[in-house]
């Protein structure tokens, strides 16, 4: 097993609500293994919080992430193709994105489809030390627009929550628009996303849960009938601790 995956691995049979929430609070991530039943996945999610409603979700509240061979006839759904997905925030187009996003692997791809995770806190800290002027451009409230038409949200990439905490909001696809002023800073940011990335392949029954205001997640392009189940989860404690603290 990949060392990053192992480092954050919880024992789903033994871990209780408190230890899971504690790990998520500290690191913004947990990984898990050996979940082959949807009910077990839903049970794990329910320890964390209520499911966040998504328009593509099924009756259980889960979204099947797979390559829709008949094509997608609307913008902003590169997740439902076999293409590379640049690390992003889920539901970046809405005012209050889900607190957590989770993925369970039902079927691995024949080739590719590796998971990519990058810690927004780590990227923020590097930018603060090495690229402070670029960072301040990415903190401009209207540097980016995510979404199109009647569903769009104007935002910074690093947003402030009080004086000591930030949350990340980012996507880089057909419905992401950036001010010309921040393009240079964006290229520094993207380089850091790939420098900080953890890449590993989820096997059947394996998955992750990440805090959506802190970690960006994505995947490599793939071939074959890869199938993932996604759960978007809200926090039981409101949105107060969304994101990460900064010094």
Ligand X SMILES: O=C(O)CCC(=O)C(=O)O
Residues forming the site for ligand X (CB under 6 A): 65, 79, 85, 90, 103, 115, 217, 219, 228
Own/partner contacts of 156-165, CB < 8 Å, gap of 24 or more, are: 157/182, 157/186, 157/189, 158/120, 158/124, 159/243, 161/242, 161/243, 164/245, 164/246, 164/247, 165/241, 165/243, 165/244, 165/245, 165/246
Is the Cβ of residue 103 or residue 188 nearer to ligand X in the bound state?
A: 103
Residues pairing with 218 in the sheet: 116
Instruction: Kindly state the smallest distance separating residue 192's Cβ from ligand X, in Å.
Output: 20
Q: Which is nearer to ligand X, 126 or 199 (CB)?
A: 199
| Smallest distance, ligand X to C-beta of residue 88, A | 7
Q: Which residues of 155-192 are buried (b: 16+ CB within 10 A; e: fewer)?
A: bbbbbebeeebbbbbbbbbebbebeeebeebbebbeeb
> Which part of the chain contacts Fe ion (CB under 5 A), choosing from 44-52, 85-93, 157-165, 199-207?
85-93
Please tell me whether residue 134 binds Fe ion under the rule CB under 5 A: no
> Interacting stretch for Fe ion, rule CB under 5 A, among 34-42, 84-92, 129-137, 163-171?
84-92
Q: Tell me the per-residue interface mask from 63 to 82 with Fe ion, x by CB under 5 A, - otherwise.
A: --------------------
Which partner in ligand X, Fe ion, none is near 89 (CB below 5 to 8 A by kind)?
none
186: which 2 tokens?
């964006």
Q: What is the distance between the alpha carbons of residues 123 and 216, in angstroms, rounded to a whole number?
A: 10
Using CB under 5 A, which of 20, 41, 90, 123 touches Fe ion?
A: 90
The partner in contact with residue 193, picked from ligand X, Fe ion, none with C-beta cut-offs of 5 to 8 angstroms by kind, is none
Residues that bind Fe ion (CB under 5 A): 90
């Amino acid at each position: 097993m990949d060392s990053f995956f192992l480092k954050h691995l919880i024992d789903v049979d033994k871990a209780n609500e408190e230890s899971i929430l504690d790990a998520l609070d500290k690191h913004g991530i947990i990984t898990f293994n050996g979940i082959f039943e949807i009910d077990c996945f839903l049970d794990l999610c329910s320890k964390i919080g209520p499911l966040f409603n998504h328009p593509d979700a099924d009756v259980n509240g889960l979204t099947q992430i797979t390559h829709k061979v008949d094509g997608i006839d609307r913008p902003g759904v590169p997740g439902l193709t076999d293409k590379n997905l640049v690390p992003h925030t889920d539901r970046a187009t809405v005012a209050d994105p889900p607190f957590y996003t989770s993925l369970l692997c039902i079927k691995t791809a024949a080739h590719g489809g590796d998971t990519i995770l990058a810690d927004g806190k780590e990227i923020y800290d590097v930018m603060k030390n090495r690229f402070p002027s670029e960072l301040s451009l990415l903190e401009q409230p209207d540097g980016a627009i995510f979404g199109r038409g009647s569903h769009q949200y104007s935002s910074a990439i690093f947003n402030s929550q009080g004086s000591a905490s930030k949350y990340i909001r980012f996507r880089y696809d057909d419905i992401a628009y950036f001010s010309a002023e921040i393009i240079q800073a964006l290229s520094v940011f993207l380089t850091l996303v790939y420098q900080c990335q953890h890449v590993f392949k989820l096997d059947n029954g394996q998955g992750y849960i990440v805090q959506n205001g802190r970690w960006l997640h994505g995947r490599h392009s793939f071939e074959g009938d890869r199938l993932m189940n996604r759960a978007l989860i809200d926090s039981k404690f409101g949105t107060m601790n969304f994101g990460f603290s900064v010094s």
